[in-house]
Amino acid sequence: MIRIGEYNELKVARKCDFGLFLDAETGSTKDDILLPIKDTSDIDDLEVGNSINVFIYRDSKDRLIATTKHPYAVVGEIAYLKVVSNTRIGAFLDFGLERDLFVPIKEQGYLIEPDKKYLFYVYVDKTNRLAATTYIDKFLQVPDAEEDLSKKEFSGTVYGFQTNGSVMIALENKYRGVILNKECFIKVSQGDTLTNLRFEKQFEDGIICVTPRKYPKDERIELEHKIYEYLKDNNGFMPYNDKSSPEDIKRVFKESKNYFKNALGGLMKKGLISQDKSGTKLIK
C-alpha cells in the first residue's frame, strides 16, 4: 500500500520519454505512479524491475507523483517551515518540493505571516492529501525518564502562550517545554527561536521548564554592567532605584525587580553609585 507523504520502495514498471512509471502494487497499470525526469538524476541507470526509494505526494492535478528529492519533513514530523503565502482558504509553506504544503485556516492556531517561519506538524487529511497544522503540542515528546537534563542547555521555537503568559516552547523542536512568565523578560512571538535555554526543572507531566536567564551570579554581573552603561549614557542619572516598580524595571532593563535590586546593591558596594528618592546617580 502506498504511503502518501512518506518514502516508499517501488519497482520500475515501465519507461517513457518524460520519466518512469512505478508499480503502485494495486494490480492495475492505471495506478502506476509517475517519477518525472526532473525529479531524479538516476533515470538512465534504472531499468524495468529495479527498485527505487521515492517520496510520494500529490501534484497540482491531484495525481500521485514520485520524487527522489527530499522534502523538509515527512508525515508525522514537526518542521520549521517558511510561509510562502496566506490566502482566505489557507496558507502555503515552502516544503522543499515543487508543490507547496497547504495549511487550512482551521489549522492555524495563530496569525502566520508570509516570509516568516513557524513550527508545523505534517499530516495526511481526510481527503488523502498532505497538509500541515500549527497545533503541534500533542505531537511533542517528553525525554526519557533516565536522561539527565540538569546541566543541559536547549534551543527551541516558540509555538504558543499559556493563559498566564508563560511561553510554550518546543525544545530542539521536539520536546514540550515552557518558560514561566516570571522568567521571560523579552518579547517573543510564535516562530521565534531561542538559544542557550537553561534547564530549571521537569514537571510530573514531562514538560521541561527552562529559562533564558544565566545563572544568578552571571546574571547579576551582566546587569551591573548594563546599569552602569545606562547611567553613563544618561549623564550619570536614572529615575530608577530599588523602590521602582517591577513594570518599569522590566520595560527598561528586561529584568526582574529582585535581580535589579541585587545588581544595584553590588554597584553600591563597589562605590560606583548612590541612591535617593529621585533615583540612582553615578559617583564620578
Q: List, in order of start, the domains of the chain with CATH numbers.
A: 7-67 (2.40.50.140), 78-137 (2.40.50.140), 141-211 (2.40.50.140), 216-282 (1.10.10.10)
pLDDT in tens, 32-86: 899 988 877 676 777 888 889 999 999 888 889 999 999 999 999 999 999 999 9
Residue type, 51: S
Beta bridge partners, 194, equal 156
* pLDDT on residue 83: 98
Cβ pair 169, 176 in contact under 8 A = no
Averaged pLDDT, 96-104? 94
Look-up: residue for cell 549623564?
235
In the predicted structure, residue 146 carries a pLDDT above the cut 70: no
Q: pTM to 2 decimals?
A: 0.80
Cβ pair 138, 124 in contact under 8 A = no
**Residue 87 neighbours by CB under 8 Å, 6+ apart:** none
* pLDDT on residue 145: 67
* pLDDT on residue 284: 66
- Distance of alpha carbon 133 from alpha carbon 110, whole angstroms: 11
* pLDDT on residue 150: 74
Residue type, 260: F
